[in-house]
């Protein structure tokens, strides 16, 4: 998979998390979410914007912060994924 597609997936994942924060958690700001998280505000903001590549440990913290079960972590559409199979 090329770098552009990886970046696109990070952005899709970020949009998914932002939607989860706003619609499910009913939290309007990343700052507010960061108060109950082990991830600082700056990093959460960059994750939601798809700007950073992160480690597996951070993925586990994301699941806890956004109240996602493991099977929900990638429950968003990646339209071009089939091209990679």
The number of C-alpha atoms within 13 Å of 76 and in the hemisphere containing its C-beta is: 16
CATH number at residue 77: 1.10.260.40
Domain membership of residue 50 as a residue range: 3-84
- pLDDT score recorded for residue 67: 96
Domain total in the chain = 1
Q: How many angstroms separate the CA atoms of 42 and 30, rounded?
A: 8
Roughly how many angstroms between the first and final C-alpha of the chain, as a whole number?
10
- pLDDT score recorded for residue 85: 55
The Cα angle at residue 54 between residues 78 and 32, in degrees rounded to 5: 90
> Residue 66 gets which letter from DSSP?
T
For the chain, 85 residues long, the average pLDDT of each consecutive 10-residue run is: 91 96 96 93 97 95 95 87 65
């Amino acid at each position: 998979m090329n770098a552009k597609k990886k970046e696109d997936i990070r952005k899709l994942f970020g949009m998914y998390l932002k939607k989860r924060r706003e619609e499910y958690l009913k939290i309007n700001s990343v700052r507010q979410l960061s108060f109950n998280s082990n991830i600082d505000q700056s990093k959460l903001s960059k994750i939601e914007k798809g700007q950073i590549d992160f480690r597996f440990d951070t993925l586990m913290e994301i699941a806890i912060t956004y109240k996602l079960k493991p099977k929900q972590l990638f429950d968003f559409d990646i339209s071009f994924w089939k091209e990679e199979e």
